[in-house]
A and B are shown apart, each in its own frame.
Chain A
Amino acid sequence: MERVEFRLSGSGGQGLITGGIILAEAAIIDGLNAVQSQSYGPEARGGASKSEVIIDKAEIDYPKVNKCDVLLSLTQVSCDKYLKDLRSGGILIIDESIELPERQDIKVYRVPIINIAVTKLNKPMVANIVALGIINVITNIVSNESLEKAVLTRVPKGTEDLNKAALTEGFKLLD
């Protein structure tokens, strides 16, 4: 397996940093190497937030993402901001609320991530977990079992069933 670089983007408060941590933890459970980092504006809520995860079988030296292989965007603002950093041939996963970008050199998945979280799970804050499910269906980067295990260790106690359901919805999103 070669180095794969993910950028999860949206607005502050959407749980994307937690999402990145979970993805990195799942990779480690699978015996891979992972580096996670993040950056966010001064705002705790709103603004553009990004979480980066690098997964590789080999040791990871350079810890930053320059041109990502996979970009997740949950808001139009973050998609507009980070789309240029998605490499040619990369994968873009966007919420259905985001306009289809004009780039022809990438593969785009436009899916109702937030809508599923709101209508099916009644909790908009699990959109990040739904997103992890769909990311893994598309990229197959970690095993579903490890991803579920990582989700369940990281989410607050008492929300395990909800988050498990969110992950399952994510897994089904392309069906």
Chain B
Amino acid sequence: MRNKWISGGKWISGISAFILILSLPIFNWIKVVNLVTLFSRIGVTKEMAGDLLTGYNLYNLLSFVQYSNQGVLGLPSMVLLILMASAIYFNVAYIIRTFMASRNRKGKGELSLLAAGKCAFLFEFIAALSTIVFVIFSNIRFGMTGFLPSAVVFIELIVSLAAYIYIKVLESRERKKYREHGLLVEIKRNWVLFVMLIPTFVYFMINNYLPMLGVYFAFTSFNFRDGLWSSPFTGFKNFEFLIKADLFRLTKNTVLYNVVFIGIGNILQIIFAILVSRVTVKWFKKTSQTLMFMPYFVSFVILKVIVYNVFEYQYGLINNIITGFGGDRIDFYNTPGYWPFLITFFYLWKNIGYGMVVYLATIMGIDNEIYEAARVDGANDLQQIWYITLPHIKPTFIILLLYALGSIMKGQFELFYQLIGNNGVLFNATDIFDTYVYRITMTQPLSIGLGTAAGLYQSLFGFLIIVLVNYVVKKRNPEYALF
């Protein structure tokens, strides 16, 4: 009996292959009808009309949006493209899993294989359904029948739905066998837990997940006149501009500052943590720890006050001292060369205490007997640190390092903005992605597309680095993996 169902789960991946073939670009999913009327209705010029086609698959739909200047179709087209890409990804993953499954038959039978299949067919179904919705939407929008879905869409729709239902049936039988249950049963059983998550769900939707749709602005020449979702679609123009203008400088600044922060920061934190752990006078230990942790608690605005008062040209403390010795004043706020050092210094000033606490906790966890034994053997303090303390804090160091590497594209926005502000003289040495995007948001509404592109590049690049670091770490030492 069991073998039959396993072959069922495999057999159906043939449908996946069929679906994949229909997803190839040679099949147009959307047909343009009433060509002349449509183009005159949406006001396409003669030259542009030459670039427009009579049929579109989901991969070249965006070129219709671009050449016809119908920005309002941009986001739906992009969503379709993303759905299509995910559907293809999940279908390929499903097929690969089918072949792997025969070799690796552990755990709960076919459940994970079936889940992969479900995912694949569900996405294919949604992609097909969305295509139909897209056609209806754009026809209503233009007030005429300009588009029609081709037969391919309907075949996809029916086949994927049938395959999905079939897999559902297989799955429910498997579940009975392994006493597993699905989402609905889980909601019925633990509905209280789901209720508890509602505020959290709303929060992360509004604050994090829905704004992700906005990365679409990176591909438009955004303006408020056309509204949020109707600005002209421009493809990769923003990115091209960014590469020509600021991208290299921003990447360099953001990454280099972070590398310096991570390097010097960790070294100093470790050194001070070791020193504190070695001190025997209790009040001194407590006080120094308290004082060094204190800067972490003040706002960056206060930091701005401090820096201004110390480095100001006329009344600043440093210039005060310099003139006191008969020297010439230094114009810090107009000399970019000083700021990488100043920013690094104040980053360290604010963050030494934080990291020190982490390392100190690890050091305190080391068994005292190890030190005693070393002492009996005649190891001096430096040897104890080198051979006992440092190896013990290595895991903490690696974890902190990985976290830091993961966020190497994230700038210390508040630090940079409060110290530099809108002082254009210093930008070359101090501009990072976060300050660049912030300035655009607040002062240049016409460059919002460009700013979104910079933000998207930063996010994606950072994300890739995290995934890569995590992959390598997981291979070498799964204990340290981030996720």
User: Do A and B belong to a common assembly?
Assistant: no
Q: Chain A interface (Cβ within 8 Å of chain B)? A: none
Q: Chain B interface (Cβ within 8 Å of chain A)? A: none
